[in-house]
Amino acid sequence: MESTVESTVAIVTFRDIFQDEAGKKSKFADEFRTLAAQVLLDKQDMAKLGWKDGQKVMVKNDVGSVVVAARTSGDDPHPGLVWMTASPWSNQLLAEDYCAGEKPWAGITATLSPTEESVTQISEILQRMRA
Amino acid sequence: MAICTGCSLLCEDIEATIKDGNITAVKNLCRKGNGHYQALKTDRTKPMIDGKEVALDAAVSKAVEILKNSKNPLLCGWSNMTMEAQAAGILLARKLGATICDTSPTCQEDLMERIMDGKIPTCTLDDVRNFADTSVFWGSDPSNSHPRHLSRFSYYPRGEKRQKSYEEERICVTVDVRKSATATLCSNYYFRQPPGGDAEFAEAVLAVLDGKIPKVGDKKRMIELGTLLRKTEYGVIFPGPGMLLALQGKMDLFEKLVAKLNEITKFKVLPMPEHCNTRGYYQLMREQTGFINGVSLRGGAPAHGPEQRLAAAAKSCDAVLAVGSDPLAELPLATARALTRANVPLIAIDPHRSLTTDAAKVVIPSAMSGLEAGGTALRMDGVKIAFEPLIKPGKPDLLSDEQILARIMEAI
């Protein structure tokens, strides 16, 4: 990952028991959003970008975009690779044919850039679907 | 004992205390199961049409009207409900000439079909507990996805032939892009892969099993892995979504690897679907339509192909019934958009408020399977688990998914 403000990364999604528990109770609660709307970066990448835990970042690709909080993964080294939980937030970036059986999948390509915007709300995600 | 329908482990050892028709205490739930049980009291749905609360009968009647007027309905979801409800759904799909799909990633179907065809050997979770000495978590992280997998079956328990268990007799291996919670536990045998690198890893394992030097990975560690696999008496591979995505289109290679392992020793494969009754849905669909998922029952013989996949069917349908899942929360943006097109009425049957119920024209509340409604489901390994309702639904007119589908069927 280059030491620039915007970074191109590959996103790999994962399951998180805390998010799953929160989602079973309510997908509309702050607890679920806080746990789901995150992107986890390698510690060195965070340092290079000059980001601190909680930095709001716009994650964007050809499919869509979301604003989430950047956090350190605690699982380094994985330069240029970031983790997001499988959730309505990561689904905004997921290509329709990601699982079409044509070719091996190597993560979601996207760019990260710092933003002053608020973390995307679940209501906004729903509005985008219905737009 | 009660059951937990929070994931496809369907844990049967849940101790629930019930007083005056309410659950007052529960033991043995994992964190995910705890969320599932707490959901009895949170975000419950009410019958709605166009966002306004109506009587249940009115919501059911509206759903019937929509489905009757539809020429090409899509019935999707199905994996978080009983087999009885799934069977009622397949009957309804036949009656309507509908396309029927679940919301699981399609890439898990290839492996499941090979297992159901007997091309890849499988076993039960009880076999894992009793006999397995090596568990390989490949692209899977049960500590997060199926939290009691390790404690009930694959690592910690003392099974019939594994009395010394994880202290001496069980080893777990993880193959994953990220060092997951399960990988941290199995750190001696954690093999980090680049995204999409699983095919090369499979080739490397085949090479070391053939006594050759692997082309990728740390050669010394790969040879150690080969030695471990050769020494294994009863091994089980638990493929997860990471592996299934990375090996899509290359499942022949995985089948070849499993066949090679079985030339040397005994190795089984046990997929880990997430939802509580995905396996039951696949089995019923296969028995009744000949295909495990993505089938059109419009006239004549069941049709299965790219056009019947959820992504395509969502674009061509003129009405949607979503039940036993929250497709808008689980699917890529483009498919979610197709399901919520302005001129396509969406009916949602769900115990809980979800993205799908918020977008639906008609919402029909249902009882929670396993807690408020009884029936049967297939655990991830295909073992049938029957359960009675633990409590009566909070409202007297709250119906099970099966009852709602039967009422719709009757009216149609």
Q: Which of B42, B196, B334 sits opposite A106 (nearest CB)?
A: B196
Query: Which of B355, B361, B371 has the highest number of chain A CBs within 10 A, making it the mutation to test binding with A?
Result: B355
Task: Establish if A79 belongs to a structural domain.
Answer: yes
- List, for residues B82-120, the tens digit of each pLDDT value: 999 999 999 999 999 999 999 987 788 999 999 999 999
Task: Establish if A1 belongs to a structural domain.
Answer: no
Instruction: Determine the pLDDT at residue B54.
Output: 97
Number of domains within chain A: 1
Q: Which of A23, A75, A106 sits opposite B178 (nearest CB)?
A: A75
Instruction: Determine the pLDDT at residue A9.
Output: 93
Is the pLDDT score of B160 beyond 90? yes
- List, for residues A55-99, the tens digit of each pLDDT value: 999 999 999 999 999 999 988 899 999 999 999 999 999 988 777
In angstroms, rounded to a whole number, what is the distance separating the alpha carbons of residues B214 and B219? 6
Query: Is the Cβ of B249 closer than 8 Å to some Cβ of chain A?
Result: yes
Instruction: Determine the pLDDT at residue A17.
Output: 97
Instruction: Determine the pLDDT at residue B187.
Output: 75
Q: Do B246 and A28 touch (CB under 8 A)?
A: no
Instruction: Determine the pLDDT at residue A2.
Output: 42
- List, for residues B24-50, the tens digit of each pLDDT value: 999 999 999 999 999 999 999 999 999
Q: Could you tell me which residues are beta bridge partners of residue B15?
A: B27
Instruction: Determine the pLDDT at residue B373.
Output: 95
Shortest Cα–Cα distance, A67 to chain B (Å)? 15
Task: Establish if A124 belongs to a structural domain.
Answer: yes
Is the pLDDT score of B169 beyond 50? yes
Instruction: Determine the pLDDT at residue A101.
Output: 61
Give me the mean pLDDT over the B148-152 stretch. Answer: 97
Is the pLDDT score of A129 beyond 60? yes
- List, for residues B280-309, the tens digit of each pLDDT value: 999 999 999 999 999 999 987 899 988 889
- List, for residues A6-55, the tens digit of each pLDDT value: 899 999 999 999 999 999 999 999 999 999 999 999 999 999 999 999 99
Instruction: Determine the pLDDT at residue A104.
Output: 64
DSSP secondary structure letters along B197-261: THHHHHHHHHHHHTTPPPSSS-HHHHHHHHHHHHH-SEEEEEE-HHHHHHTTT-HHHHHHHHHHH
Query: Is the Cβ of B329 closer than 8 Å to some Cβ of chain A?
Result: yes
- List, for residues B113-143, the tens digit of each pLDDT value: 999 999 999 999 999 999 999 999 999 999 9
Regarding beta strands B362-365 and B48-49, do their DSSP bridges make them parallel or antiparallel, or are they unpaired?
antiparallel
Instruction: Determine the pLDDT at residue B396.
Output: 76
Instruction: Determine the pLDDT at residue A130.
Output: 86
Give me the mean pLDDT over the B152-167 stretch. Answer: 94
Taking CA–CA distances from B305, the nearest residue in chain A reads A100
Rounded percentage of chain B residues whose pLDDT exceeds 70: 100
Is the pLDDT score of A5 beyond 80? no
- List, for residues B349-399, the tens digit of each pLDDT value: 999 999 999 999 999 999 999 999 999 999 999 999 999 999 988 777 899
Task: Establish if A75 belongs to a structural domain.
Answer: yes
Is residue A35 helix, strand or coil? helix
Q: Do A101 and B336 touch (CB under 8 A)?
A: no
Query: How many CB pairs lie under 8 A apart between chains A and B?
Result: 153
**A23: CATH:** 2.40.40.20
Instruction: Determine the pLDDT at residue A107.
Output: 84
In angstroms, rounded to a whole number, what is the distance separating the alpha carbons of residues B155 and A105? 29
**Closest alpha carbon to A98 in B276, B337, B272, B335:** B335
The C-alpha angle B124, B129, B133, rounded to 5 degrees, equals 105
Delineate the domains of chain B, giving CATH numbers in brackets. Answer: 44-104+276-411 (3.40.50.740), 107-269 (3.40.228.10)
Q: Do B248 and A101 touch (CB under 8 A)?
A: yes
Which of B213-217, B246-250, B273-277 is the most confident on average?
B273-277
In which domain, by residue range, is A71 found?
7-130
Q: Which of B107, B333, B359 sits opposite A92 (nearest CB)?
A: B333
Give me the mean pLDDT over the B173-188 stretch. Answer: 92
Q: Give the other-Cβ count within 10 Å of B188's Cβ.
A: 11
The ipTM is: 0.94
Instruction: Determine the pLDDT at residue A6.
Output: 82
Of residues B51 and A103, more confidently modeled: B51
In angstroms, rounded to a whole number, what is the distance separating the alpha carbons of residues A100 and A113? 29
Query: Which of B4, B32, B193, B200 has the highest number of chain A CBs within 10 A, making it the mutation to test binding with A?
Result: B32
- Measured between beta carbons, the chain A residues lying within 8 angstroms of B43 are 25-28
